[in-house]
Chain A
């Protein structure tokens, strides 16, 4: 440790505040228990023992008030879109959104001439990561979460730049 050697007690690390905040946020991405279609089944698989999303510090919460991450898993209808927006508004900041699967990305198979399906959840709430697939495999969702973690690590909370 050079000049500081022997001048500090044990268990002290040096980092900057942003990095520390981002590191703690990216490793405690509690996601909301929320699924509207077959992507929800893959989401459950990802959370279950084999793929074990808990490894990333991501555990599900049954209320938006305790969630940091909304994984929009499935088709969103116009009727549901109002509710999605309300749930998003109820989440405390900082909050993130993953659009999982074709329906949440663009409307998917319902894109052409569907009267009831929202053509992509980004028309209603801001989306951080898009995960393609119909439905995406658990590996794909995990990659999406890792992409989001990478994005969180690059955030500037206190330094303006």
Chain B
């Protein structure tokens, strides 16, 4: 199925919660309202003819210039052999978004990574801890205004 057509199906089902279709990305992306992401993802997985059973990647983006953060979901359907990108934008000062762990269990570690490196909080996540850095690390290093610490425990960083 063409991404444009998938966008059409989503718009029909969710109306104003589907904000924008961006053709310049690969695969083309659909901008979704932040609060609706869990419902949209469940529909993408279970909806007729969509069958997005695979979450290829979930990444966080720091859009400092726009005062926003984004979460990007790359989806793939093994059965239908089509792909699409879903995006949500968050408030940079208080980035919260619903988890999609209940839709794709593999999202668990992706979301922990986004939390660890960017500080995006995934509401409803079963185990939101740091995954790459030590538990007592301060700050989130992929934020663009992050300042690297001089020391950690007993050694220089």
A37 within 8 A of B: no
A124 to B154 CA separation, bound complex (whole angstroms): 8
Tell me, rounded to whole Å, the shortest Cβ–Cβ distance linking B30 to chain A.
Answer: 32
Q: Given A115-B133, A115-B141, A116-B132, A78 and B148 touching (CB < 8 A)?
A: no
Q: In the complex, what distance in Å separates the CA atom of A118 from the CA atom of B137?
A: 14
Spell out A's residues near B (CB within 8 Å).
77-79, 81-82, 113, 115-116, 118-119, 123-124
Number of interface residues of B (CB under 8 A): 15
Tell me whether chain B's interface is mostly helix, strand or loop, or mixed: loop
> Known contacts A115-B141, A115-B148; is A78 also within 8 Å of B134 by CB?
yes
Nearest A residue (CB) for B131: A79
The interface of chain B, by Cβ under 8 A from chain A, is 117, 132-134, 137, 141-142, 146, 148, 152-157
B148 in contact with A113 (CB, 8 Å):
yes
Distance of A104 Cα from B142 Cα, bound (Å)? 24
Do A81 and B132 touch across chains, with their CB atoms under 8 A apart?
Answer: no
User: Of A79, A115, A123, which is within 8 A of B156 by CB?
Assistant: A123
In the assembled complex, the CB of A97 is this many whole angstroms from the nearest CB of chain B, namely 15
Task: Please list the 8 inter-chain residue pairs (A to B) with the smallest Cβ-Cβ separation, ordered nearest first.
Answer: A115-B141, A123-B155, A79-B134, A78-B134, A116-B132, A124-B155, A78-B152, A116-B133
Nearest CB of B to A80, in Å: 10
26 examples of A-B residue contacts, CB within 8 angstroms = A77-B132, A78-B134, A78-B137, A78-B152, A78-B153, A78-B157, A79-B132, A79-B133, A79-B134, A81-B153, A81-B155, A82-B134, A113-B148, A115-B117, A115-B133, A115-B141, A115-B142, A115-B146, A115-B148, A116-B132, A116-B133, A116-B141, A118-B155, A119-B156, A124-B154, A124-B155
